[in-house]
């Protein structure tokens, strides 16, 4: 397995965004020079404290910096007449409030330090993830808007949901309301919606006989022909839903690789019923193999437990791809009591934990959530899910899950089909 280097980080989950902010993983890069000042840990390039700054020194700094923003001193300071020596140093934006740092400078007189202040604030409004696409309430039951909509904040794990208007669950009808989500810094997102009170709400449960129709599926051979090109391989991802798979037939159909679900993690870790057989038979058929884990974890302890389980289950087996971190529960994200920053830090910790066991990791997500929920500040590999003929996602990714309605010899029913860009895998 080709390992992908990541930066190990310390981690402690955020429980709030104002006075409740606790210790976070540092986002400071390795100092470019040795030596520190005791007060702020900014590297000192010169101890010449008697050097007088030029009279026309200009060091302009913004009034506020966004919390958790990755910024260097060069990004932060607008300077003239001096050279900034520690400009690549990252600012600490992990806690809100006023901060002080020393900027190491050089001018015609020599080297000197200039103290500057900056304020870290949260100015980003909460993100609306589900504006109530199924706003149904059964007559006579309690109305809980949190169970209908989905929202998250970049910083606050428990933004407050309120609404204007009235919903009478004793009377069938349509009830227009205006919903508001407000974070601890006072940033607000609002939207209009209509709640529908019914005698009986629609159910997604199906009872009775059903004959599947796969006539609209795309044959794997057609998929290969459509997207053929240099530096590409074609594969599938599978789980218990595909049942008993003939991997020799899959290989003969032109499949190069398979990503296998090892399991899922809700309240506890469960192994996929077909995982052990799938990975054994896929290897025997000569396919390249990777794994993914579906999870709803929301704490550092969960991450460490999951990474340990994956390592023990693999038991030293090499993989052809990074281990995929699959977190998709955005419909009612607020139920997990974490912020989007927290979620990203959980992924960062997962990468660090997997590397400690000798494996690399990647992020699996759809275009929508890659754009609106994930930051991937450490540029880990991305497995993009976007079910379109041509993706317009402009971020970095090395694998594209382009269809969920694939048809391939050896599997009964639909399967996800993927394109691997081999020239991007190790970048």
pLDDT at residue 202, as a whole number: 82
pLDDT at 35 over 70: no
277 lies in some domain: yes
Threshold 0.75, pTM exceeds: yes
pLDDT at 4 over 70: no
What is the arithmetic mean of pLDDT over 43-57? 59
Which one-letter DSSP state was computed for residue 224?
H
Residues 352 and 383 in one domain: yes
205 lies in some domain: no
Among 91-100, 195-204, 320-329, whose mean pLDDT is lowest?
Answer: 195-204
More confident: 43 or 243: 243
- Please state, as a whole number, how many other Cβ atoms lie within 10 Å of the Cβ of residue 216: 8
Count of alpha carbons within 13 Å of 245, Cβ hemisphere only?
35
Looking up residue 56, the CATH number of its domain turns out to be: 2.60.40
Distance CA 186, CA 126 (A): 10
pLDDT at residue 210, as a whole number: 60
3-state secondary structure of 23: coil
Q: Domain ends where: 198, 229, 255?
A: 198
pLDDT band at 59 (very low <50, low <70, confident <90, very high): confident
Outline where 286-339 has alpha helix (H). 300-314
Residues 160 and 288 in one domain: no
End-to-end CA distance of the chain: 14
Residues 173 and 277 in one domain: no
Four-residue CA torsion sign, 183, 185, 186, 190: negative
Percent of the chain with pLDDT over 70: 85
**Starting from the edge strand earliest in sequence, which strands make up the sheet with 97-107, in order?**
64-66, 110-121, 97-107, 83-84
65 lies in some domain: yes
3-state secondary structure of 411: coil
1 lies in some domain: no
pLDDT band at 239 (very low <50, low <70, confident <90, very high): very high
Distance CA 161, CA 124 (A): 16
pLDDT at residue 20, as a whole number: 35
pLDDT band at 111 (very low <50, low <70, confident <90, very high): confident
Distance CA 378, CA 159 (A): 27
108 CB contacts (<8 Å, ≥6 apart)?
54
* Domain count of the fold of the chain: 3
Residues 79 and 141 in one domain: no
What is the residue range of 111's domain? 18-121
414 CB contacts (<8 Å, ≥6 apart)?
214, 217, 404, 405, 406, 407
pLDDT at residue 51, as a whole number: 65
pLDDT at residue 34, as a whole number: 29
More confident: 173 or 30: 173
Residues 137 and 81 in one domain: no
339 lies in some domain: yes
208 lies in some domain: no
pLDDT band at 107 (very low <50, low <70, confident <90, very high): confident
pLDDT at 109 over 90: no
Is residue 257 a contact partner of residue 278, using CB atoms and an 8 Å limit? no
pLDDT at residue 42, as a whole number: 39
pLDDT band at 425 (very low <50, low <70, confident <90, very high): confident
pLDDT at residue 215, as a whole number: 78
Residues 141 and 27 in one domain: no
Q: Domain ends where: 89, 121, 153?
A: 121
Residues 337 and 410 in one domain: yes
Residues 227 and 295 in one domain: yes
Name the residue among 380, 371, 369, 385 with its Cα closest to residue 418. Answer: 385
Is residue 260 a contact partner of residue 278, using CB atoms and an 8 Å limit? yes
Distance CA 422, CA 427 (A): 10
pLDDT at residue 211, as a whole number: 67
Distance CA 323, CA 356 (A): 13
Residues 43 and 158 in one domain: no
Alpha-carbon torsion angle 412, 415, 421, 426, nearest 10: -100
More confident: 57 or 164: 164
Residues 117 and 155 in one domain: no
pLDDT at 77 over 50: yes
8 lies in some domain: no
Name the residue among 105, 133, 69, 89 with its Cα closest to residue 332. Answer: 133
Looking up residue 162, the CATH number of its domain turns out to be: 2.60.40.10
9 lies in some domain: no
pLDDT at residue 205, as a whole number: 59
* Kind of pairing between the strands at 323-326 and 288-295: parallel
**Average pLDDT over the chain, rounded to an integer:** 87
Q: Domain ends where: 69, 100, 121?
A: 121
What is the arithmetic mean of pLDDT over 198-204? 83
Q: Quick: pLDDT tens for 312-360.
A: 999 999 999 999 999 999 999 999 999 999 999 999 999 999 999 999 9
pLDDT at 2 over 60: no
What is the arithmetic mean of pLDDT over 138-154? 96
């Amino acid at each position: 397995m080709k390992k992908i280097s990541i930066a190990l980080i310390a981690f402690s989950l955020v429980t709030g965004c104002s006075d409740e902010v606790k210790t976070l993983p540092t986002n400071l890069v390795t100092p470019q020079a040795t030596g520190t000042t005791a007060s702020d840990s900014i590297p000192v390039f010169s101890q010449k404290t008697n050097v007088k700054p030029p009279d026309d020194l200009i060091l302009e700094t913004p009034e506020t910096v966004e919390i958790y923003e990755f910024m260097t001193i060069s990004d932060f300071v607008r300077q003239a007449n001096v050279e900034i020596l520690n400009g690549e140093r990252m600012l600490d934006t992990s806690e809100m409030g006023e901060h002080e740092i020393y900027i190491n400078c050089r001018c015609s007189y020599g080297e000197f330090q200039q103290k500057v202040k900056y304020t870290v604030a949260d100015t980003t409004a909460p993100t609306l993830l589900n504006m109530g696409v199924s706003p149904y309430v059964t007559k006579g039951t309690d109305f809980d808007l949190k169970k209908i909509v989905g929202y998250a904040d970049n910083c606050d794990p428990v933004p407050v949901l309120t609404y204007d208007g009235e919903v009478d669950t004793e009377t069938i009808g349509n009830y227009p309301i205006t919903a508001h989500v407000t974070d601890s810094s006072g940033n607000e997102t609002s939207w209009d919606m209509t709640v529908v009170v019914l005698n009986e709400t629609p159910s997604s449960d199906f009872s009775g006989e059903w004959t599947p129709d796969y006539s609209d599926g795309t044959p794997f051979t057609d998929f290969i022909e459509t997207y053929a090109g240099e530096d590409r391989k074609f594969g599938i991802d599978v789980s218990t839903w595909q049942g008993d798979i003939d991997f020799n037939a899959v290989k003969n159909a032109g499949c190069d690789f398979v990503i296998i679900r090892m399991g899922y993690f809700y309240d506890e870790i469960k192994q996929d019923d077909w995982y052990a057989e799938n990975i054994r038979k896929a290897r025997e058929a000569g396919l390249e193999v990777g794994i993914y884990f579906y999870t709803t974890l929301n704490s550092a302890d969960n991450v460490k437990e999951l990474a340990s389980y994956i390592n023990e289950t693999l038991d030293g087996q090499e993989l052809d791809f990074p281990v995929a971190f699959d977190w998709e529960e955005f419909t009612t994200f607020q139920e997990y009591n974490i912020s989007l920053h927290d979620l990203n830090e959980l992924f960062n910790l997962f990468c660090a934990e997997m590397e400690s066991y000798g494996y690399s990791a990647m992020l699996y997500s759809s275009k929508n959530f890659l754009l609106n929920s994930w930051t991937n500040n450490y540029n880990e590999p991305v497995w993009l899910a976007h079910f379109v003929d041509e993706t317009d996602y402009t971020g970095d990714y090395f694998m594209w899950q382009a269809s969920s309605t694939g048809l391939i010899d050896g599997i009964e029913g639909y399967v996800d089909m993927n394109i691997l860009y081999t020239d991007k895998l190790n970048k």
